[in-house]
Amino acid sequence: MSILDTGVRNVRNVLRYTVGEGALSDLPKLLAARRSEGTGSVVYFIDEFFKGKPDIIAKLGISPVDETVFVPTEDEPSTESIDQISARLRDTGFAKPSAIVGMGGGITMDVAKAVSNLLTNGGKAEDYQGWDLVKVPGIYKVAIPTLSGTGAEATRTCVMTNKRTGLKLGMNSDFTVYDQIVMDPALTATAPRNQYFYTGMDAYIHCVEALAGSYRNAIGDAYSRETINLCRQVFLEGDMMSPLNRERLMVASYLGGCAIATSYVGLVHPLSAGLSVVLGLHHCVADCIVMRAMQPYYPNEYEEFWRMVEKQEVAIPEGVARGLTDNQYEQLYASTVIHQKPLTNALGENYRDILTKEKVVKIFKMM
Ligand SMILES: [Fe+2]
C-alpha cells in the first residue's frame, strides 16, 4: 500500500475570512467578541517590517492590556524560538490570552500558529512536530497576511526547524488552522519587489507540483488550477503589484494553501527544504532557486516561470550550491530524500533509484 492517500478526509478550512482593500479596519470589531471572554487580552505577533509603520499598527486596535511581539524574519522559526516565546508569554501574564493575531508573511503567521497551540497544550514545540499530535485547540487565532503566496493563512501546519534533530517539520493538525483571516491587499503594497515575487511563486510552485503528481483528487486539482490561473494573471499581465494583482495574489495564496491541504507537493519542495536546512536560505527564494534546475521535470512550467521572472524584472540568486564541501552535499542529499511523501508523488515509490546521490548533487550544482 502506498504511503500516500488520494482520498480527501474531513478537511478543516479556515472558519471565516474577509477580503478586500481596507479589510484591516474591521479587526478591532472582530476581536471585540473574543475580548469579552476570558482574560480579555490579545497577543499580537507582527512582522518587524511594520515597526516603522505606525499608521498600519494604529488600525489593529492594540489596547494597554495587550502584548505585542515584533517577529524578526532573518531566521525561519525553530522549535527553540517557539519554546522561548511561549515561556516568556507565560511568565509575563499572557498564558491565556483571549486571542492571538499573526500579521506578516509565512514566518510570522507560523509563529502565531505554533505559539497558540503550545500555550494550551503545554510541553515543547518539538513534541508536536508531526501529524495530529496536538491534543486540544489552541488559543483563538487571526491571520493577517502581508505577503501572499505561502498559503500559511490557510494550511494546517506551521513550519519549524528543530536544530537538535535537523528536522524541518510543522505541527500538522486541524488545531493549527486559523479561526479567522483578514485579507487586505493594501498590506502588500509596500513589500519589496523581489520578496513579493518569491513569495507569490511559492503558491504557483505548490500547485504546479500538485498537478504534476500521481496522487490527485478533484478538489485539490480545482484549487490548484485556479491558483495557477490567478498567478498567470498576476505575473504575466502588467505589473504584479498593481492593486488588482495584489488582490488576485492574496486570493491565489489562500486557494493555494487549500490546495496543499488536499494534495501533495512534488520535487521542488524537498530540494528547497535542503537549501533551507543546509544553507539557511529562506523557503520562497529557495523554491525559485530550485526552478533553475527543473527543466527536465516540469518543462512547461520551467519556461513559464522564467518568462514571469523576465516580465517582472526580478533577480533570482544563482550558484548558491556550487563549490560546497562533500559534507555539505551529503547533507543536501539527506535533507532532500527524507521527504518521502512529495517525492513519491512526483517520482513514484522507488524515487531513491532516480534520485541517487550523484543525481541530487548534480541538480544542486545546476542552481
Ligand atoms: Fe512552499
**What is the DSSP pairing of strand 161-162 with strand 167-168?**
antiparallel
Question: Would you call 325 exposed, middle or buried from its count of C-beta atoms within 10 A (0-12, 13-18, 19+)?
Answer: exposed
Cα–Cα distance between 192 and 187 in angstroms, integer?
Answer: 12
Distance from residue 148's CA to the centre of ligand 1 (Å): 11
Sign of CA dihedral 141, 146, 150, 151: positive
* pLDDT given for residue 1 in this prediction: 61
* pLDDT given for residue 324 in this prediction: 97
Helix, strand, or coil here: 338? coil
How many H helices and E strands in the chain?
14, 10
* pLDDT given for residue 76 in this prediction: 85
Distance from residue 19's CA to the centre of ligand 1 (Å): 22
Q: What's the average pLDDT block by block, 10 residues per block, for the chain (367 residues)?
A: 76 94 96 93 97 95 97 92 98 97 97 98 96 96 98 94 84 96 97 97 98 95 98 97 98 96 94 94 96 98 98 98 96 94 96 97 98
Helix, strand, or coil here: 196? helix
Distance from residue 203's CA to the centre of ligand 1 (Å): 7
Cα–Cα distance between 51 and 43 in angstroms, integer?
Answer: 16
* pLDDT given for residue 7 in this prediction: 77
Distance from residue 87's CA to the centre of ligand 1 (Å): 29
Distance from residue 319's CA to the centre of ligand 1 (Å): 21
Distance from residue 14's CA to the centre of ligand 1 (Å): 18
